[in-house]
Every structure is written in C-alpha cells, then in structure tokens.
C-alpha cells in the first residue's frame, strides 16, 4: 500500500486588517489582508478572536522592543490561527516593502518573495502545539459560529484600507514627533538608536535612526536650556540627503498629552490609541511649521 503524503498547509503572512468600500462586515468578524508563500495577496474574513490574538501578539512583541511578523497557521481551507514570530533586520525590511507593494497594486516583486517562505515557516516545528493550545482556549471561551469556508477576494484599492490596527507600516508620514529615546538592545544595529515617535497620521512607532542624529538632538536641546527645554518638541524631517531636525515649542497641556501617549505605549505595548485634541493640535502645528516657506 502506498503512503499518502500529507499536503503542505497553506500557511500565510498576515499583513493588516482592511475593509472593502461600503462593506458591512458581520458582527464579530474582521477582514484581514495577507499573502501566501508564493506571494499572492488576498483578503479573508476572520473571526474577531483571530484578529485579537494577532493584535495582542503584535502588541506584546512591540512592548518587548522585538521585531516581528504575524503568521497565519492554516487549520482548514481558508481558516487560520495567528502566531507571532520574531524576525531579523532583513525580514523587517522585507515586511515593510511587502506591505507597501500589497497596498499599492497587490503584486509582490520576486526580490521580496524569497523572504516569505523563511518567515512563514519560522513556527513550523511548533505549529501543532500552537494550534492545540489555541483550540483549547477557544473551547473555554464563548462559543462563536465560524463559516466553514472563509470568503477570499483578490487585492483591492488602498482607499478601502481600515486603519484601526496596522501591524506594519511601510512609510511614516513626516514630520515625525519624537516622544522618547529608547535604550539599545541586542537587536539594535551598530551606530543606530531607537526612538519612539508619533507620525503625522497620528500613529506611534519605534524607528531606528543614526546615533549621530540622536546626539545632535541632545546637544541642541541642551542649548535651549532650563524650563524652555521641557516644553520643546523635537521634529524629524526627511529629505534626499537623510534626516534633519527641527524644534517647536509646545504648551504645558500639549506636553502633558504627549507624555500620556508615551506612558500608554510603555504600559500596553500598543501603538494604537485615540489621539486627543491636544495631541492633534501638536501634529497640525508640526505639519504647518515645516510647510512654511523659508526666508
């Protein structure tokens, strides 16, 4: 008797939650954008439990200052369990550009496809344990109906993107507002420093910049001196030659709101929180300050 070989599961790479124009998603469901090992980009409706596991895994990695990817382990055709895996700097670069191309036209260039298999297979040795533990927790939780076959659709327009919880962000909107300088760890490349920033879309993120930029920022902040320094907001601009710095005075209330945002990230690891009117006013002023013509 011949041995029937088990078909390789079609595990995928989760990118971010999305929505179609005018789409009404059923209660307790979320549409997820993802790609498979071959580089094909799709969207599927998944249960909110799947979404929340992906979100919590991402938040936990961000809180520990780890670079990560969210893999969907296939348990049945079109049904996935999310698992968060730690990745290196090359994979981080690939993930950012994979999302960029997925949102732009839904087609990944060959140079990016070679990273997909290594990322998606990172948890292969642990997939049975992960699936078993997930199913056990699911049985203990509130029962929720799940469609047998999830709807699959090809790529759609970027304007239909839901911005509630992006797992990756390919490009940040400048100017960036520096919230805090973070301590280096074993994953920080040589001659770089990590900063917690708020971009002009209101999204928080951890970015890496040259160490010399942080030193320049510290020196120039010291020159402001005393009480004025505490109410100075540092802005990072980007041009073809690299990064430049700018400085803007903020009110005591605005400074307090930025500090509250920073504490929220440090305590929860989440980069998504409703931005207050005070913080929005800082973002607006920052964008206005860099768009003014120079004399």
pLDDT tens sequence across 88-119? 888 888 888 898 888 778 889 999 999 998 89
If asked whether residues 25 and 139 sit together in one domain, one would say yes
The token pair that represents 45 in the structure block: 């409706």
* pTM for the structure as a whole: 0.53
pLDDT tens sequence across 233-292? 999 998 888 889 999 999 999 999 999 888 887 776 655 566 788 898 999 999 988 775
pLDDT of the residue at 163: 34
Q: Which residue, 55, 113, 99, 110, is CA-closest to 269? A: 55
Torsion of CA 220, 226, 228, 233, to 10 degrees: 40
Give me the half-sphere count of Cα atoms (radius 13 Å) on the Cβ side of residue 125.
3
If asked whether residues 45 and 150 sit together in one domain, one would say yes
pLDDT above 70 (res 8): no
Domain boundary among 107, 124, 157: 157
If asked whether residues 129 and 36 sit together in one domain, one would say yes
Q: Which residue, 6, 3, 32, 4, is CA-closest to 17? A: 32
pLDDT tens sequence across 163-214? 333 445 556 789 999 999 987 765 566 788 888 899 888 888 888 888 999 9
If asked whether residues 42 and 152 sit together in one domain, one would say yes
pLDDT of the residue at 157: 39
pLDDT band (50, 70, 90) for residue 13: very high
pLDDT of the residue at 179: 93
Please report whether residue 144 resides in a domain: yes
Whole domain around residue 102: which residue ranges? 12-157
């Amino acid at each position: 008797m011949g041995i029937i070989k088990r078909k390789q599961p079609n595990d995928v790479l989760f990118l971010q939650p999305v929505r179609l124009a005018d789409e009404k998603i059923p209660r307790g469901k979320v549409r997820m954008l993802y790609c498979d090992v071959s580089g094909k980009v799709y969207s599927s409706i998944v249960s909110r439990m799947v979404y929340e596991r992906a979100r919590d895994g991402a938040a936990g990695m961000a809180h520990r200052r780890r670079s990560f990817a969210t893999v969907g382990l296939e348990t049945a055709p079109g049904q996935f369990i999310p698992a968060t895996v730690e990745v290196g700097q090359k994979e981080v670069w690939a993930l950012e550009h994979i999302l960029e191309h997925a949102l732009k036209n839904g087609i990944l260039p060959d140079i990016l496809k070679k990273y997909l298999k290594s990322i998606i297979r990172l948890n292969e040795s642990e997939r049975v344990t992960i699936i078993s533990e997930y199913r056990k927790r699911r049985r203990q939780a509130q029962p929720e109906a799940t469609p047998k076959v999830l709807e699959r659709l090809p790529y759609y327009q970027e304007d239909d993107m839901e911005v509630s919880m992006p797992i990756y962000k390919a490009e940040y909107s400048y100017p960036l507002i520096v919230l805090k300088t973070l301590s280096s760890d074993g994953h920080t490349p040589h001659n770089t420093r990590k900063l917690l920033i708020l971009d002009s879309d209101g999204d928080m993120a951890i970015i890496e910049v040259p160490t010399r930029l942080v030193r320049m920022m510290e020196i120039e902040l010291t020159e402001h001196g005393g009480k004025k320094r505490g109410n100075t907001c540092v802005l990072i601009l980007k041009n073809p030659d690299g990064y430049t710095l700018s400085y803007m005075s903020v009110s005591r209330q605005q400074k307090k709101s930025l500090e509250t945002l920073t504490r929220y990230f440090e305590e929860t690891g989440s980069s998504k929180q409703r931005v207050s009117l005070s913080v929005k006013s800082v973002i607006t002023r920052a964008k206005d300050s860099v768009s003014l013509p120079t004399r």
